[in-house]
Amino acid sequence: MLLDAVTLNIDRTFDCIYSNKVLMHLSTEDLKKSIINQKKLLNQNGLKCHTFWKGTSKEYMEETLFQNYLEKYLLVLFQDNFNLLYIKSYKEFEEDDSIVLITKAK
C-alpha cells in the first residue's frame, strides 16, 4: 500500500499503525492532521508505534523537511486523541538520538 501520510485515504481499519521516522517529514500542521486521520483508521483499542529523531532541529534537504522532536512536544501533539503507553529515548546512532512513542486510541 502506498498512502499519503497526512490524508491516509483508505477504506480499511487496522489494529496497529507503525512508522519508522516517516512523520518527521511532515510540517507540524500536517502532522496534526495525520494524527487525527490515524485515529480514524484504528480499530477499538488500536495501537500506534512511531519513531522520531530526537531534537529541536528543522531543516530542508532538496525540498524535503527533516523535523526533530522532543518527548514533551510529541506528548502535546498526541494527547488529545491517544493515551500514552510508552515513550522513551533510545540510541540508533548516538546516545538519545531517537524517540519511540506507543499510544492507544482513546
DSSP letter string over 49-73?
EEEEEBSS-EEEETTEEEE-B-HHH
Model pLDDT for residues 11-40, shown as the tens digit of each residue: 999 999 999 999 999 999 999 999 999 999
Model pLDDT for residues 38-50, shown as the tens digit of each residue: 999 999 999 999 9
Torsion from C-alpha of 99, 53, 17, 8, nearest 10 degrees:
150
CATH number of 14-105: 3.40.50.150
Please state the rounded mean pLDDT for residues 53-64.
96
What pLDDT does residue 73 have? Answer: 96
Model pLDDT for residues 69-90, shown as the tens digit of each residue: 999 999 999 999 999 999 999 9
What pLDDT does residue 2 have? Answer: 85
CA 64 to chain centre: 17
Q: What is the pTM of this model?
A: 0.93
Measured CA to CA, the distance from residue 8 to residue 73 in angstroms comes to 23
What pLDDT does residue 106 have? Answer: 87
